[in-house]
């Protein structure tokens, strides 16, 4: 794994969340939208280092036709009520819950973590549509630390990529409304030399 290149605009070691009020919404149509807040978390490089070292990362293999393939990223997941690997993640989940309470109608309860070791790690086009999100609107909030990687979104029924969001260094994105059903998202492989990135995805009960 490449060493993380410390970011020039995040020289603080104090790991701290800013206010959520500056979040900006992009409406994608068909009930889907994306909220963004670049640099929500200060001290993102310090949080990256802590999570990289402290989280019990696991490699997964998946059945692909007749063979087992390595999932191209490392994973960790925290169910409802399980303590998160850093207190600022609990703060983030609660702050997001308060900010979106009226619109979402329920709290964020689970956290999934992905570690993209380098540009060869990725996630293929998909929607988070296992569980209630297959039929209901929901929100998936993602905090990113480490080197930015693009999160791309396109309509599920075909059509060009609508959004390409570089996410790292404390950036927040929230995919909301019908996004998991009507759109797909991916983190494509990168041929550029990129350092590692960790994403933390907060979801509601029964959504994967």
Ligand X SMILES: O=C(O)CCC(=O)C(=O)O
Binding site for Fe ion (CB under 5 A): 128
Task: Decide: is 112 part of the binding site for ligand X (CB under 6 A).
Answer: yes
Name the residue among 150, 153, 144 with its Cα closest to residue 197: 144
Which residue number, 15 or 115, has a Cβ lying nearer to ligand X?
Answer: 115
Q: Confirm if 36 and 8 have CB atoms less than 8 A apart.
A: no
Which residue of this chain has its Cβ atom nearest to Fe ion in the complex?
128
Task: Decide: is 74 part of the binding site for ligand X (CB under 6 A).
Answer: no
Residue 147 interface partner, choices ligand X, Fe ion, none, CB cut-off 5-8 Å depending on type: none
Residue choice 142, 165, 172, 174 for contact with ligand X (CB under 6 A)? 142
Strand partners, 154: 184
Structure letter (DSSP) for residue 132 = G
Please enumerate, as own/partner, the contacts of 59-68 that have beta carbons within 8 Å and a separation of 24 or more.
none
Task: Decide: is 151 part of the binding site for ligand X (CB under 6 A).
Answer: yes
Nearest-angstrom CA–CA distance, 183 and 207: 16
Helix (H, G, I), strand (E, B) or coil at 155: strand
Task: Decide: is 88 part of the binding site for ligand X (CB under 6 A).
Answer: no
Binding stretches for ligand X (CB under 6 A) = 112, 114, 123, 128, 142, 151, 167, 185, 187, 199, 201
């Amino acid at each position: 794994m490449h060493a993380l290149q410390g970011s020039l605009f995040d020289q603080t070691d104090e790991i701290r969340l800013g206010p959520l009020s500056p979040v900006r919404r992009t409406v994608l149509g068909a009930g889907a939208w994306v909220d963004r807040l670049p640099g929500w978390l200060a001290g993102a490089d310090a949080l990256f280092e802590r999570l990289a070292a402290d989280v019990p990362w696991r490699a997964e293999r998946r059945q692909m036709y007749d063979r087992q393939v390595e999932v191209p990223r490392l994973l960790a997941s925290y169910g409802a009520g399980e303590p998160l690997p850093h207190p600022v993640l609990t703060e983030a989940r609660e702050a997001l819950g308060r900010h979106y309470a009226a619109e979402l109608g329920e709290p964020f309860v689970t956290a999934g973590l992905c570690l993209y070791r380098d540009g060869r790690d990725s996630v293929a086009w998909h929607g988070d549509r296992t569980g209630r999100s297959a039929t209901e609107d929901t929100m998936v909030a993602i905090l990113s630390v480490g080197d930015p990687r693009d999160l791309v979104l396109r309509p599920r029924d075909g059509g060009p990529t609508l959004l390409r969001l570089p996410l790292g260094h404390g950036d927040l994105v929230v995919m909301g409304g019908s996004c998991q059903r009507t759109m797909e998202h991916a983190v494509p492989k990168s041929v550029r030399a990129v350092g590692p990135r960790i994403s933390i995805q907060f979801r509601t009960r029964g959504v994967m």
